[in-house]
Structure 1
Amino acid sequence: MIRKGCLDDQLFIMGIIHNAIIDMEAKGIYQWDSIYPNDEVINNDLSNETLYVYEDGGIIKGIIVLNEYQDKEYEDMKWEFNSGKHLIIHRLCIDPKYQGQGIARLLVDYAEQQGKALGYESIRLDAFVNNERACNLYKKLGYKAVGIVEFRKGKFYCFEKGL
């Protein structure tokens, strides 16, 4: 089941993020750390009711944040869809012990359903260039890379999909 996260979920969510950071670093992927995403970022997501959890059997196995916030670096991208509203995916994260079960796909599908229902023209997101698994997922789901932005941890592809 996918539901909005609540403040009571924060400790568990931070545990998932911590586990994901350890797993990514073991694979040579250095996109997240203790600076981002931190407690304050997740608390803001929860307070703004933009963080959703995938829960199965009472266990939160993954998260996704959906909102309209676009980093200023997005301004230089050659987006294909420019006339309407855009839903942005942030912080998609699956607990490493539950990866490979299709949970990320379910969360992205949920984002697309929400985007369509709320009248968004497209979904936009960025993914760390060295996170091949994430980049391949988005490509497989029909997202098109429109350029590269640079953040504190390195280069990220910007992806977009029309709804």
Structure 2
Amino acid sequence: MSDLKFQEIKISELSLVLELFKAAAEKINKKNVDHWQYWKNPPQEKIEWVTTGIQNHEFFFIILNDTEQIGMVRIMNIDEPYWGITNDKAKYIHSLVIKDQYNGKGLGSLVIEKVTEIAKLENCEFLRLDAVSKNVGLCNYYERIGFQKVGVKESQLSTNTLFQKQLS
């Protein structure tokens, strides 16, 4: 099994984060899926969302075998905009991006497994994430790896399906 580590992203690396989002948006667009296209030219509120996440120590580069930066992920303890105020202890995954050349190797699942391990160590009840509802392939993928659809969240930029996995 590949060795994955998370390396906290610094504010000085904001441009690298935005480049990863843009590359992901272009890749998704080639699949004719209308998802994340605002990242090609992100609105100020999205840049602020990323900046806040970096300042809150929530954004991480995904490092493979101690050397290769293969993508990024945002790991949150609270996700009020999508999930509201809850009393459940959960981890929230956002912005999981694997660089194109590493796609199809099961690395996204490994990242989710690693976040699951962290969540269990912190005695979380749930692992939660969301996907743009129009991205049927991604929604189906999350269900295949054990997440359940538990709701829908409408936002100004998209309609998202909410998924969670009970941790025991």
TM-score range, shorter chain: 0.7 to 0.9
Residue type at the aligned position of 1:150: E
Is 1:47 matched with 2:51? no
Report the TM-score when normalising by structure 2. Answer: 0.81
Seen in structure 2, the aligned counterparts of structure 1 residues 25 and 152 have a Cα distance that, compared at 3 Å, is farther
- Tell me the TM-score normalized by structure 1: 0.83
Q: Is the 8 A contact 1:62 1:103 kept in 2?
A: no
Any idea what SS the aligned residue of 2:104 has? coil
Other-structure match for 1:79: none
1:131 aligns with 2:135: yes
Aligned counterpart for 1:19 among listed residues 6, 19, 23: 23
Distance 2:20 2:62 in 1: 12
For the aligned residue pairs, the C-alpha RMSD in angstroms reads 2.4
Contact in 2 for aligned 1:12/1:60 (Cα 8 Å): no
Pairs within 5 Å for 1:82-101: 84-101=88-105
Q: How far apart, in 2, do the equivalents of 1:53 and 1:133 lie?
A: 24
Structure 2, gaps ≥5 residues long = none
Q: How many angstroms apart in 1 are the aligned matches of 2:133 and 2:23? A: 20
Q: Which amino acid aligns with 2:110?
A: L
8 Å Cα contact 1:149-1:156 kept in structure 2 = yes
Matched, 1:61 2:61: no
Q: Percent identity?
A: 20
Give the drift of 1:2: 1.6
Range 16-25 or range 51-60, more displaced: 51-60
* Structure 1 moving runs of 4+ over 6 Å: none
Answer 1 or 2: higher relative contact order, Cα 8 Å, separation at least 6: 1
- What residue is the counterpart of 1:71 in the other structure? 80
Residues paired across the two proteins, number: 158
List runs of 5+ in structure 1 lacking aligned partners.
77-81
